[in-house]
Structure 1
Amino acid sequence: MKLDGIASFVAVADAGSISEAARLLRLSKSVVSERLGELERSVGARLLHRTTRRLSMTEDGAAFLDRARRILREVEEAGADLAERRGTLTGPMRIAAPITFGNMHLGPALYPFLAAHPQIELTLDLDDRRVDIASGAYDGVIRHGIIDDSRLMVWRLAPSRRFLVASNDYLARYGTPRSIADLDDHRGIFYTNRGVADWRFVGPGGAQIVRARVALRVNNGEMIRDAALAGLGIALLPAFIAGPVVRAGRLQIIDVGIRPEGESVFLAHPEGRRPSAKLRALADHLRRAFGDPPYWEEGLSSVDPA
């Protein structure tokens, strides 16, 4: 059983086609097909159903896939461990992150890290959908939210405050809410990946949930910001999205006398798997790059309700 055959099988399973796997592996389709055939002969089972129109996993293929991923990971980590013993960060690393945070903040923080460690081969997947961290498909997943799953192995990268914001035009037309109760009469712009259209606040009596009338539901933070700029309603946005337009005076922070529930930007990695030295180094670098308090909250502290 050859490692290049196992690598080709995993690549095909992840990509969904031989042609796409060949492109990612920088090999010809015929080479990938040949390696798959050799692997199937060595294990004595068909792993993939291949037709002219589609490719699907056999029952044996599905059972073998998890083991194949673990084999490749162990080989990669063994090589990386040897390099790290010599003081070098090297080898592949795959990270997932949200689209808006990735574009606005993660990318600029990553580039100097990769320039300092040119032997790291980073794959960054930007997607707002929740990723199954336990699947092992990623070395780490960067997310923004509340850390409430005790099964996750989590490193906190930065605190993250959120603010209620609206445009001057919206507030001129509908008035400025001054309390939690006032929000019931306003239109809200909500982030759908949180599951429900509500805003959570924390006061002396504990958590309070507010459900405003829905103006828009959308699964992207930049579109929420743009909808608020267009005067569609009030949005609850993290400072890393709202900061620039608030400082420019294009959105106004609304003080209802109570603070939105605190969140964090964090990096989670699979439980029971020792994180590599390069993942630990990346987390340390991102903490320094973001700061505490993070740079994106600069100039916003004076409007934060007590």
Structure 2
Amino acid sequence: MMKLDGIAAFVATVDAGSISEAARRLGWSKSVTSERLAELERSLGTRLVQRTTRKLSLTQDGDSLLPRARRILAEVDDAAVEIVERRGSLAGPLRISAPVSFGILHLGPAICAFLAKHPDLELSLELDDRFVDAAADGFDAVIRHGPVVDSRLVAKRLAVTRRTLVASPSYLERAGTPTSLDDLQRHRGILYSNRDTDWRFAGAGGWTVVRPSSCVRVNNGLIMRDAALAGHGITLLPTFFTYRDIASGSLRHIDIGMEAEGAELFVCYPLARTPSAKVSALVNSLRAAFGDPPYWESAG
């Protein structure tokens, strides 16, 4: 008979890529994780995972079992949550990932309010600007800013945000304020390094991409904002980075007569499993915390 611990060890090992990392995620010792996986294989009479010194790979039987094993764990988790919800609260582990800058600026108060309502949750929040793989990296959900093109994910919109051109008063006094795309092309840009075509503007004829000369190229919005505040150039950022600086006058909005491509915030979870009550509650709580329109759009 298959035991639940063995199924959990199997799925965690596949997702983590190693038994040691699976053990860390499960909170077990490496030896216990390895033994639970071995017990599952013995009960089924087949090898599920091919172990080598460098990597783990699924056997054909393991590949066949994996989606069913995920569904079993999801059903057990949902059943446990449902029972707890009947008693009035959510409980247990919830592991999510979010972008670094957005997490620092806006997630703290929202997450704390969520935990205040559900004190029995064990939340693990990891801030990371890379596009983490929600299923393979073992997350219940990931928060993403921008388009979600992974067909393996279900995306629930949290908020819509504008992206605007901004610069410091000192830079604009020194270099002039652009009023058109041609003007903008001649300015120094503080660019997001993870997108080559980041500066996209909507016009009557479709999208136009501007590629200014780069004075700073970085993969973090907070540093982009700091470079703009220091007067190094013009940058294009979501308003959740700049709304306070615009209100104080530390940064100025630049109007070139065209709207920059906007962006959306999503909570995503793997398509292979239904969202748990914990993820659904998180989505609802974050939507309420950010507002519609979000507070960074309606400020001032």
C-alpha distance in 2 between matches for 1:100 and 1:74: 34
Q: How does 1:77-92 map to 2 (within 5 A)?
A: 77-92=78-93
Partner of 1:122: 123
C-alpha distance in 1 between matches for 2:225 and 2:72: 44
1:247 aligns with 2:247: yes
Give the match's secondary structure for 1:45. coil
C-alpha distance in 2 between matches for 1:9 and 1:272: 16
Q: How does 1:65-76 map to 2 (within 5 A)?
A: 65-76=66-77
Partner of 2:276: 276
- AA aligned to 2:188 is R
- AA aligned to 1:252 is R
- Please tell me whether the aligned partners of residues 197 and 209 of structure 2 are also in contact (alpha carbons under 8 angstroms): no
Partner of 1:34: 35
Q: How does 1:130-141 map to 2 (within 5 A)?
A: 130-132=131-133, 137-141=138-142
Deviation at 1:50? 4.5
Partner of 1:19: 20
Partner of 2:143: 142
Partner of 1:303: none
C-alpha distance in 1 between matches for 2:198 and 2:56: 40
Give the match's secondary structure for 2:90. coil
- Please tell me whether the aligned partners of residues 89 and 278 of structure 1 are also in contact (alpha carbons under 8 angstroms): yes
Deviation at 1:150? 9.1
C-alpha distance in 1 between matches for 2:39 and 2:270: 32
Stretches of structure 2 lacking an aligned partner (at least 5 in a row)? none
Change (3 A) 1:22 1:134: closer
- AA aligned to 1:234 is I
Q: How many residues align?
A: 298
TM-score under structure 1 length normalisation? 0.82
C-alpha distance in 2 between matches for 1:72 and 1:147: 25
TM-score under structure 2 length normalisation? 0.84
- Please tell me whether the aligned partners of residues 202 and 259 of structure 1 are also in contact (alpha carbons under 8 angstroms): yes
155-164 or 57-66, which moves further after superposition?
Answer: 57-66
C-alpha distance in 2 between matches for 1:255 and 1:68: 54
Partner of 1:258: 258
- Please tell me whether the aligned partners of residues 15 and 136 of structure 2 are also in contact (alpha carbons under 8 angstroms): no
Give the match's secondary structure for 1:188. strand
Query: 1:154-208 CA distances to partner (integer Å, 9 max, x unpaired)?
Result: 4332221221112334323322111222111112222233x32341223455543
Give the match's secondary structure for 1:123. strand
- AA aligned to 1:267 is V
C-alpha distance in 1 between matches for 2:95 and 2:247: 34
Change (3 A) 1:148 1:251: same
Partner of 1:267: 267
- Please tell me whether the aligned partners of residues 91 and 120 of structure 2 are also in contact (alpha carbons under 8 angstroms): yes
Partner of 2:189: 188
- AA aligned to 1:281 is A
Give the match's secondary structure for 1:10. helix
- AA aligned to 1:263 is A
1:225 aligns with 2:225: yes
